Amino acid sequence: MNKAIFATPRALDLAREVLKIEAAAVLALTQRINGNFLQALNIILACEGRVIVSGMGKSGHIARKIAATLSSTGTPAYFVHPAEASHGDLGMITAKDVFIALSYSGESQELLTIVPVIKRQGARLISLTGNPRSSLAEASDAHLDAAVGKEACPLGLAPTASTTAALALGDALAVALLDAKGFGEEDFARSHPGGSLGRRLLTHVRDIMHSGKGIPTVHQNATLAEAVLEISRKGLGMTAIVGDAQQVLGIYTDGDLRRTMEKHIDFTTTTISSVMSRNPRSILPDALAAEAVQVMEQHNISQLLVVDSNNKLVGALNMHDLLRAKVI
């Protein structure tokens, strides 16, 4: 029978020590953001092909993440396994590409085997190692020093602080490239259309608004009873009030209805124009849906009319439409 094992308070101390060691390793990298880093940046910025990132073992896992981060921030990149590269995948690499090799020792045999071929093909080589005098670093066009004082593993064996440092340095490279290329929120959204940021930045009011016969609308001469019926039919909790040319004159909401009922007004003889809210908040159809959210939250309203540049009614939406579109 296996003996049960339980964590002790010592585990908490060890966990805190791991975080301190790894945080110190990342902080130490700030002293090495120098001319070598700029050289690596310029090589990638001048790249006419793709950035290929590679590494063995734990470095390979970090290389995959760096490639993914580069791709999502405007620098097309992909991961190539160094062992697979020497068995045919080197055919993916061209003279226009940049190859980023990760190896903490700088002596990974799988990488060193393919370096001569990469150089012979004319691709530029950037290395990220913990040893500036390693074979890989010396063969590179630019070298990034990711050395750490010690690993967080108490045995000093498992790559821990070193992989964290390499990952952080890769992020620093990606963000610096992002800024140099002027990569903005809309660019990021285009590469993340399924995410919440993509929805906020790519969804416009026209994409989710009710239009045509779906817009709750009554003429300014309509009775209050007719307006209430329109609110009920369209289900948006309001109706727009328009003039002869469909220009927006006002809005009448569920909230207005409750306030009107307290006054005991005759719904069949009272015109909607006498009780409507004038100069209602509105938005253009080409505005981002996120802007509609901001207007609603700022003015504490749940419905919004959509108008064109001439204040002509073209659509309507409420908070539920924005929720269904997952903009909020």
pLDDT at 201: 62
Using alpha carbons only, give the angle 219, 224, 229 rounded to the nearest 5 degrees. 85
CB atoms within 10 A of CB 125: 19
Token pair listed for 18: 């791991």
pLDDT at 203: 83
Distance CA 247, CA 245 (A): 5
pLDDT at 263: 87
Per the DSSP assignment, residues forming a β-bridge with 248 are 242
Question: Could you give the 3-state DSSP secondary structure of residue 143?
Answer: strand
Q: Is the pLDDT of residue 106 over 90?
A: yes
pLDDT tens per residue, range 267-317: 999 999 999 999 999 999 999 888 999 999 999 999 999 999 999 999 999
Q: Is the pLDDT of residue 195 over 80?
A: no
- Give the HSE-up count for residue 12: Cα atoms under 13 Å, Cβ half-sphere: 2
Superfamily of segment(s) 10-183: Glucose-6-phosphate isomerase like protein; domain 1 (3.40.50.10490)
Q: Render 32-63 in DSSP notation, one character per residue.
A: G-SHHHHHHHHHHHT-SS-EEEEESHHHHHHH
Residue with tokens 């959210």: 293
Superfamily of segment(s) 205-324: CBS-domain (3.10.580.10)
Q: Quick one: pLDDT band at residue 262, thresholds 50, 70, 90?
A: confident
Distance CA 91, CA 94 (A): 8
Sign of CA dihedral 91, 97, 100, 101: positive
Task: State the average pLDDT over residues 313-322.
Answer: 93
Sign of CA dihedral 152, 156, 161, 163: negative
* Structural contact between residues 127 and 144, judged by C-beta atoms closer than 8 angstroms: yes
Chain-centre distance for alpha carbon 103: 29
CB atoms within 10 A of CB 242: 21
Distance CA 149, CA 78 (A): 30
- B/e letters for 90-101, b = 16+ CB within 10 Å, e = fewer, are beebeeebbbbb
Token pair listed for 109: 């045999």
Strand order in the sheet with 142-145: 77-79, 51-55, 98-102, 124-129, 142-145
pLDDT at 277: 93
pLDDT at 155: 78
* Structural contact between residues 202 and 193, judged by C-beta atoms closer than 8 angstroms: yes
Task: State the average pLDDT over residues 228-240.
Answer: 94
User: Where are the chain's structural domains?
Assistant: 10-183, 205-324
